[in-house]
Amino acid sequence: MTKEESIQQELIKNFNFLEDKIRIPKERRIFVDVSADKFEEVLKFLKEKIGFDTLCTITGLDEGATLGMIYHLTRQDGIVINIKISVPKDDPKIKTIIGYFPAAEYYEREVVDLLGAKVEGLPEGSRYPLPDGWPDGQYPLRKDWKSDMLEKEDK
């Protein structure tokens, strides 16, 4: 059994709802789909018991009716696990993971600014990466938002 397969077995053993939600497309890459309410316990397990102690980044996706969040974690031996959750677009609430990964702060702010996610528990701080004065409710990375929607400034 490869290392990736044994991680898959461990996950299914502890969380049987992950039974057919785990894909191993190539060596050192695992993709998992988790429902948002079970995410934190899976994350905690992966960090504390399987050794995925480094966060690479968080990718936000516009999936139409939902917003997807992919959390990319790595391990010392080079294996990357990509955990995806989905939340409804009209109420995109997710909990911060800075308690487990302080580095998540900038990645979560990015998802708030560019996709309009609501991250509960994020501390006070300046926005990233959009400029001050960017109008509320405009989320550039959403599919229905086009780059030419902004009028160019007058000279």
Partner 1 sequence: MTVIEKLVTWARVKSPWIIHFNSGACNGCDIEILAALTPKFDLERFGVLLKGTPRHADVLICSGPVTRQTKDRLIRIYEQMPEPKFVVAVGTCACSGGVFDGCYNILGGINSVIPVSAYIPGCAASPQAIIDGVVKLLGSLKGK
Partner 2 sequence: MDKVVIPVGPQHPALKEPESFRVILEGEKIVGVTLRLGYNHRGIEKACEERTYIQDLYLIERVCGICSHSHSTCFVQAVETIAGVEVPKRALYIRTLVGELERIHSHLLWLGVAGHEIGFDTLFMYSWRDREIVMDILADLTGNRVNYGINTYGGVKRDISKEQLQKILKAMDTLEERTKYYIQVATEEITLMKRLSNVGRLPKADVETLDAVGPVARASGVDRDVRRDDPYAAYNEVSFKVITVNNEDVYGRTLVRVGELMESYSIIRQIISNMPDGPISVKVPRKIPEGEAFSRYEAPRGEDVHYVKSNGSDKPERVKVRAPTLANVKAMLKMLENYNLADLPIIVAAIDPCFSCTDRAISIKKLDTGSSEIMDWKSLRQYSIEWYKRKGIKF
Nearer to partner 1, 17 or 106 (CB): 106
155 binds, among partner 2, partner 1, none (CB under 5 to 8 A by kind): partner 1
Buried residues in 120-155 as b, exposed as e (16+ CB within 10 A): eebeeeeeeebeeeeeeeebeeeeeeeeeeeeeeee
Among 57, 64, 93, 99, binds partner 2 (CB under 8 A): 57
Q: Are 98 and 104 in contact (CB under 8 A)?
A: yes
Tell whether residue 152 is a contact of partner 1 (CB under 8 A).
yes
Tell whether residue 130 is a contact of partner 2 (CB under 8 A).
yes
* 66-74 vs 80-88, strand pairing mode: antiparallel
CA-based radius of gyration for the chain: 17
Site for partner 1 in 112-151 (CB under 8 A): 130-134, 140, 147-150
Give the N- to C-terminal CA distance of the chain in Å, as an integer: 64
Nearer to partner 1, 26 or 152 (CB): 152
Site for partner 2 in 77-106 (CB under 8 A): 77-78, 80, 82, 101-103, 105-106
Nearer to partner 1, 102 or 133 (CB): 133
Separation CA 108–CA 112 (nearest Å)? 6
Separation CA 83–CA 35 (nearest Å)? 10
Interface ranges with partner 2 (CB under 8 A): 25-26, 28-29, 31, 53-57, 59, 61-62, 70, 72, 74, 76-78, 80, 82, 101-103, 105-107, 114, 125-135, 138, 140-141, 144-147, 149-151, 153
